[in-house]
Amino acid sequence: MLRVIIIDDEDHIRDSLAKLLAKHCPMAAVIGEANGVAAGKQIIGELHPDLVLLDIQMNDGTGFDLLQSFSPVDFNVIFITAYEQYALQAFRFSAVDYILKPVNPEQLVTAIDRAALLIRDHFNIQMNALYENLKSITRQDKKIILKTTDQIHLLDLKNIVACESDSCYTTVHTMEGAHIMVTKTLKEYEEMLSGCGFYRVHKSFLINLAHVKRFDKQGGGYIVLTNGLKIPVASRKREEMIELLERMAE
């Protein structure tokens, strides 16, 4: 059973979340509520929950202010947010769970199920990545969390050379020569890394354009990356790839 606290400065949001949990998440029991940062700190200290559903923007501060008063954070968190798209990308990079307002019951159930399985020590790593991602100036400065079955990796985005599809899995190739297999599809990473200097050059490969060493037109065409990887270029992507590299050289 997950012992849950709901922290949001809107009464109707807290009431709605409590009703959704009672109806759809029998493994979650609401043990308390709070309407802001100060009240949230107090009730967490008193009740020691397993999970907090936490609003980001509240009248007396932010959810981040609340979390930074706990070191380490010894409970799991699902953010309830109306954040803009740019900030949501930082959440996805950091593998921190969030639900958009108005709350969708299916998304809530999925997030609760993930929270039940999350190793708490991992959450502090994820939050540190999130803080850095929210303040990063350029998108290649961001960090990304990669979860395998038994490890959690924190990588600088600029150190990822390419992502390779393997059915429902993706292998992430790094500058250091690591090959990290994660249970996300290449399409998910293509969407996540959109606008961050990555390009889907082939159905099986997403490359970091910052690591392109050269484009060899022989044998149908392939990209040579800085770590020596040779990546095939799909025939329908060939001309687009050439134009892209020409623009980068200007």
How far is Cα 28 from Cα 109, in angstroms, rounded to an integer? 10
Alpha helix positions (H), the chain: 11-24, 37-47, 63-67, 85-94, 105-117, 120-135, 186-192, 238-249
10 Å CB burial of residue 54 (0-12, 13-18, 19+) is buried
Token pair of 157 as six digits: 């985005």
CATH 3.40.50.2300 fits 2-135, yes or no: yes
| pLDDT string in tens for the chain (250-residue length) | 889 999 999 999 999 999 999 999 998 999 999 999 999 999 999 999 999 999 988 999 988 889 888 878 888 888 888 876 546 766 776 667 888 888 999 999 988 988 877 655 567 677 777 767 666 655 667 888 888 877 888 888 899 999 999 888 999 999 999 999 998 899 999 988 888 889 999 999 999 999 999 998 887 789 999 999 999 999 888 888 888 888 876 6
Retrieve residue 89's tokens: 């990308």
Q: What is the CATH number of domain 155-249?
A: 2.40.50.1020
Domain residue ranges of the chain, discontinuous segments joined by +: 2-135, 155-249
Say whether 67 sits in a helix, a strand or coil. Answer: helix
